[in-house]
Every structure is written in structure tokens, then in C-alpha cells.
Amino acid sequence: MSRNTQIPALEPLMKASQTIFNDELKACKAQGGKIVGYLQEEIPEEIFTAAGLVPVAVRGVGSDGTELAEAYFRQLTCNYVRNTFNTILNGDWDFLDGAVYSNHCDHARRIYDNWATLPGNPAYHFVYVPKSIGPRETEFYREELKKLIEATEKRFNVKITSESLTAAIKLHNETRRLQQQIYDMQKGEQVYLKGSELLLVMMAANCVPRVRYNQLLKELIEQLKAVGPTIKPTLRLMYTGGHADSQEFFELLEKQGGDIIVDNAAFGTRACAKLISEEGCPLEAIVNYYQDQKPSATRIGGTADARMQRVVDLVKEYKLDGVISARLFMCDLWAFEQFMMRKRLEKEGVPLLELEVDYQLDGEGQIRTRVQAFIESILARKNN
């Protein structure tokens, strides 16, 4: 069963998530807003908000190729990075007032080095995020964030205070609470959003000014609740992977007869699973959240058990029939994540489909066939 009623709040969110300089950002810019691009997941967006800036995740959505980027990145670099850098060279990110990068992976960290060579580039700071967790790493990360604050204050001639940080934490926590509500609505036998809708709504948090996003999300929840859960999944699946953000890709997964109910994506459940403490020193709360409390990124040493357990827990919590994981060609982090996930999910008896994909949807037929076969095998098992 599908939804027959229009949900007006869906359209602006989904549209914004598929466009680099979207209408929401254009409106913000027209009102004198300043926008900072950053690598999503481990750089605290709250710091930019506290500085009165709008944080936007830099990515290559809508990219029309990698020709320009080839002079900077060889074929061993993943297509997310090459497409993203192509959009940078294409001028698609010229509206940015600043950009901050981190050492998230071997591919993405080189965007910073290369971007910094371009005339008039907005890249003004690099954050080293430790590759493991512990007291020494926390101490180092705290110092890194202090440097980020200092660099941001200097570039934009602003002061980031405890009060502005606390206000930013509250604003971003509000987002997380609303997103948690969205995910709660996906737990029933019938759900409110298709997987493609869910994932794009989540992605929109990274490219729509936060106050506006929260407003749209509230409206979305109200409108969805008014209509009720209208989608009855044939199979309940989870998407997990790195960097996929295109509508076509998520639609391709769900068109084959399974429904993505939930995700384990950096911009999805991992972004809203925990709240930042609103008590005490706000910088300390941000440090603790990003280092110790938030579900870890794939790359964080010593967290593999917790990461695998989180996947298993999501399977149980959302009563899932299987997991679809997708890694980008050349991505070592997710190749290993799939390697470990395969072992763990096999023990748990959870079907897993491992895909290797390009950032821009390619080899559609092959993906379709593999997803179809996966769904058929689960259905056959269920029917027996």
C-alpha cells in the first residue's frame, strides 16, 4: 500500500537534499547569511551555528562528471571525492564563505590539500579527529576544537561564547529529537516514509539552515501523523554504507520489492541517536558527544564490537528482515566494515547484501538484479 495524500513538507526537504546551492541556502544568502562547508560526521556543526554561520555538508550531489577533478585525483580515489572536487572546480560551491575539512579518510582528506591550492578558495581550517577513543585522544580533540573556534572567530570576526554554544547545542538537539520521532514512526508494522524519503529528509539536515529545517521537520511530522502510516512493507530492510546520497540510488533499492525502513548512515540514525548534554561547559559537552557518546564512525579504532552490535540492535529494534550495505569503489573503510559485518550478521542469522557502487548511479541493471535476488531469497525463506 502506498500513500495517496500529498505531504507538503516533504518536497522542500527532498528537493534541498538533491541540490548543492538549493533554494533554502539561496534564501539564507539573500538575507546576508554566511555559509560554511564542512565534511559531515566528525566536525561539530554546533561550532558553526554558534558563530552565526550555516553549516553545509560538502558533497558531489548532482555532479555531471569527474573530468575536471582528474588532474588532481587519480582513479584510485573514490568517486564521491572526485565528483565532489569536480563540483568545487565547476564553481558549484562558490557561494561558500568558508570550508573546514578533517582527516576522515584517505580520499576525502586530500580534498582539503587540493582545495587550498585554488585561487580564492574558502578552505580555512583542518581538524584532526583522532582515530581511536580514550582520555589522551579526547584531550587532543579538545585542543583541535579550540583551534577550530579560534580560526572561525578570526575568519568571520565573531566571538563564539559559552552562551552561543549552549544555544547551538539546544538547536541541534531539537533536530535530533525531531529526527528520533521520525525514526520512531518507522518501527510499526506500517510505516510513514519510504526509504528514499526517509534518507533524503535526514540528509536535508546537512544542507538547510537549521532553524528552517527544524520547522519543516515539525510540519512533516504533523502532516505524516495526520495521514497515518500508509506504507506496509513487503520486507523490512536497513540501508548501511558510506556516502550514498542520491534519490535514484535509494529508489532503486526500494523498487525491487523491499522497503528501507531504517538506516545506519552517518547522516541518518547515527546523527541523532544521542543528544549532547545541555548541562555544564558546552565545549566539554561537544567534545564528549563527538568522542565518546555518538555512535562511532567506521574508522574509529577499538569500536568495531560496538559498531557491529549497533547493526544487530537496529535489526531487532526495527524487526528487520535483512540489511543492504553499499560501499563505494575504492573505499577501504567500508570494504572492511562489510567484511566484519558479514561475519557478525551470519552468526545472528541476518541476511546481508553487500553492494559495491559508484557515487553517481552506474551499473543500475546489475544492482537491480542483485537486490531482486536478495529479496527473493529472503521471501523464499520466510515463506518456507
Partner 1 sequence: MTQVVEGIERIKEYRERLVGLLDFMSKLPPEQQNPVAMAVVTMMKEKDEQLIDAAETGKPIVCTWYGNCIEVLSGMGIAFFNPVIDLMFHLGLTDYADAKECDKYNLDDKICSLVRYAVYSMENKLHPRPTCFIAMQEPCDGQLMLHQAFTQLDHLKGVPFFSIDPSYGHTDKDFEYVAKQLKDMVKFVEEKTGVKYDFEKVKAVVDETNKQYAIWAECNELMKASPAPLPSFAIPDAFWPLMQHLKVGNPVYTKIMETVRDVAKANVEKGVGPVMNEQIRIFWPDLDPLWSEKLGQWLAEEWNAVVVQTFQGLTPYTPVDTSNEDAMFFGLARRAVAEVPMIRQGRGWTDVVVEDVTNAIQDYNIDAVLFSGHMGHKDQSGINYFMKKACRDMKVPLLTLTTSLFDERYTPLDKVKNDISNFFSANGWKRNKKA
Q: Residues in the site for partner 1, rule: CB under 8 A?
A: 71-78, 81, 103, 105-107, 109-114, 117, 126, 128, 130-132, 134, 136-137, 140, 298-299, 301-305, 308, 327, 329-330, 332-333, 335-340, 342-344, 356
Give min distance, CB of 316 to partner 1, in A: 20
How far apart CA 206 and CA 210 sit, in angstroms, is 8
The CB-of-183 to partner 1 minimum distance in angstroms stands at 27
Least Å distance, CB 110 to partner 1, is: 3
β pairing state of 34-38 and 53-57: parallel
Count other C-beta atoms under 10 Å from residue 340's C-beta: 15
Amino acid at 173: N
Residue 40: all three cell numbers together: 559531515
What's the min distance (Å) between Cβ of 238 and partner 1?
19
**Which of 128, 255 has the CB closer to partner 1?**
128
**Rounded to the nearest whole angstrom, what is the least distance from the CB of residue 338 to partner 1 in the complex?**
8
Q: CB nearer to partner 1: give 105 or 224.
A: 105
Q: Measured from the CB atom, is 209 or 351 closer to partner 1?
A: 351
**Element housing 320 (H / E):** none
Continuous H helices in the chain: 10-17, 23-30, 45-50, 79-89, 109-115, 135-156, 162-184, 195-204, 210-227, 247-254, 269-272, 282-288, 304-317, 332-348, 364-383
Q: Cα(381)–Cα(272) distance, rounded to whole angstroms?
A: 33
Q: Which ranges constitute the DSSP H helices of 229-280? A: 247-254, 269-272
CB of 103 to partner 1, least distance (A): 6
Written as nine digits, the cell of 348 is 545472528
Q: Is 75 exposed, middle or buried (0-12, 13-18, 19+ CB in 10 A)?
A: exposed
- Choose among 210, 311, 328: nearest CA to 262: 311
Least distance between partner 1 and beta carbon 42 (Å): 13
For residues 19 and 103, which CB has a smaller minimum distance to partner 1 in the complex? Answer: 103
Cα gap 250→345, rounded to integer Å: 22
Q: Shortest Cβ distance from residue 305 to partner 1 (Å)?
A: 7
Q: Between residues 245 and 337, which has the closer beta carbon with respect to partner 1?
A: 337
Dist CA 173 CA 275 (whole Å): 6
CA–CA distance from 359 to each of 64, 160, 201, 304 (Å)?
A: 11, 36, 19, 25
Question: Whose Cβ is closer to partner 1: residue 212's or residue 307's?
Answer: 307
Task: Please identify, using beta-carbon distances, which residue of 126 and 289 lies nearer to partner 1.
Answer: 126
Minimum Å gap between C-beta 232 and partner 1 is 36
Of 375, 296, 309, 300, the residue nearest 347 (C-alpha): 309
Query: Could you write out the DSSP letters of every residue in 6-19?
Result: --TTHHHHHHHHT-
Nearer to partner 1, 112 or 249 (CB): 112
**Which residue number, 106 or 219, has a Cβ lying nearer to partner 1?**
106
Q: Which residue's CB is nearer to partner 1, number 185 or number 340? A: 340
* Greatest distance between any 2 Cα atoms in the chain: 66
Q: How many beta carbons lie within 10 A of that of residue 220, not counting itself?
A: 24
Closest distance to partner 1 from the beta carbon of 278 (Å): 29
